[in-house]
Amino acid sequence: MPDDNPSAGSAAGTVLEVRDLSVSYFMDRGTTLAVDRVSLDLAPREFLGIVGESGCGKSTLLFAIAQLLAPPAEITSGSVVFKGRNMVGLTDKEMSTVRWRDLSVVMQSAMNALNPVKSIGAQFSDAMRAHGASKGEITERSAEVLKMVGIDPVHLKSYPHQLSGGMRQRSMIAMAMLFTPDLVIMDEPTSALDVVAQRSLMVQIKELQEQLGFAIIFVTHDMSLVSHFSDRLMVMYGGVVAEFGATRQVFDAPLHPYSIGLLEAFPSIRGPRVPLTGIPGSPPNLASIPPGCRFAPRCPKVMARCEVEPPELYQVDGTLVRCFLHDGGGPRDD
Partner 1 sequence: MATLQTPPGASETGTGPARRAGPAAAGLPLAGGGSIAGARSLRRMARAITANRKATVGAVLLAIFTFVALFPGLIAHDDPQAEIYPRSLTPSAQHWLGTTSFGQDMFAQVIWGTRPVLLIAVGVGLLATVVAMLVGVAAAYLGGAWDGTLNVITDVLLVIPLFPLLIIIGSYLHGAGTSVMIAVIAATGWSYTARQLRAQALSLRNRDFLAAAKVRGERSLYVICVEIIPTMTSLLVAAFLTNALYAVLFSSSLQFIGLGDPNVTSWGTMLYWAENNEAFQTGLPLWIIVPGLCIVALGAAFALLNYAFDEIGNPALRPVRSMRKVRVQRAR
Partner 2 sequence: MTEPQHRSMPPALVPGMAEPAGPAKPGSRLLRTEGLTKHFKIGGATSRRTLYAVEDVDLAIGEHEIVALAGESGSGKSTVARLLAKLYKPTAGEIYFQDKPLSGVRGRKDVLRYRGDVPMVFQDPFASINPVFRVSHGVMRCLKLHRPDLSAEQRREEAERVFDAVGLTPASEVLQRFPHELSGGQRQRVGFAQALALRPKLILADEPVSMLDVSIRIGLLNLMADLRDTQGVSILYITHDIASARYVADRLIVMYAGHIAETGPTEEVLSRPRHPYTQLLLSAVPDPRAPLTIGAETDRGEPPRVIDPAPGCLFRWRCPLAIDECHHVTPPLRELLPEHSAACHVARADAETKAFR
- 135 backbone φψ class: left, alpha, beta (φ>0; ψ -120 to 50): alpha
Residue 273 near which of partner 1, partner 2, none (CB within 5-8 Å, type-dependent): partner 2
Among 34, 40, 120, 178, binds partner 1 (CB under 8 A): 34
Q: ω before 272 within 30° of 0 (cis)? A: no
According to DSSP, the residues that pair with 19 across neighbouring strands are 79
Q: Which of 199, 206, 136, 208 is nearest to 175 (CA)?
A: 208
> Hey, which residues between 224 and 243 contact partner 2 (CB under 8 A)?
224-225, 227-228
Query: 16-27 and 73-82: which strand pairing?
Result: antiparallel
In angstroms, rounded to a whole number, what is the distance separating the alpha carbons of residues 136 and 52?
Answer: 43
Task: Determine, following the binding rule CB under 8 A, whether residue 114 of this chain makes contact with partner 1.
Answer: no
* 278 in contact with partner 2 (CB under 8 A): yes
Q: Are 15 and 82 in contact (CB under 8 A)?
A: yes
Cβ distance to partner 1 smaller for residue 138 or 225: 225
Q: Which amino acid is at 113?
A: A
Residue of the chain from 2, 150, 153, 310 that contacts partner 2 (CB under 8 A): 150
Which of 88/143 has CB closer to partner 1? 88
Dihedral of CA 78/82/186/94: which sign? positive
Shortest Cβ distance from residue 332 to partner 1 (Å)?
A: 26
Q: What is the DSSP letter of 4?
A: S
Q: What is the DSSP string of 137-151?
A: HHHHHHHHHHHHTT-
| Closest distance of CB 35 from partner 2, Å | 18
Sole binder of partner 1 in the list 144, 213, 282, 330 (CB under 8 A): 282
Choice between 67 and 247, CB closer to partner 2 = 247
Considering only 144, 194, 312, 334, the residue that binds partner 1 (CB under 8 A) is 194
Residue number, 193 or 216, with CB nearest to partner 1: 193
Q: How far is the CB of 195 from partner 2 (least distance, A)?
A: 5
CA end-to-end span of the chain, whole Å?
A: 18
Closest-CA residue to 290 (of 272, 302, 275): 302
Choose the contact partner of 279 out of partner 1, partner 2, none; CB within 5 to 8 A by kind. partner 2
Q: Which of 12, 11, 16 is nearest to 214 (CA)?
A: 16
d(Cα 44, Cα 302) in Å, to the nearest integer?
Answer: 38
Please tell me whether residue 208 binds partner 2 under the rule CB under 8 A: no
Is residue 283 part of the contact set for partner 1 (CB under 8 A)? yes
Q: Interface residues with partner 1 (CB under 8 A)?
A: 25-28, 32, 34, 53-57, 59-60, 63, 68-74, 105, 107-109, 112-113, 188, 191-195, 198, 221-222, 282-287
Binding residues vs partner 2 (CB under 8 A): 53-54, 150, 164-167, 194-200, 202-203, 206, 221-225, 227-228, 251, 261-263, 265-271, 273-282, 285, 297
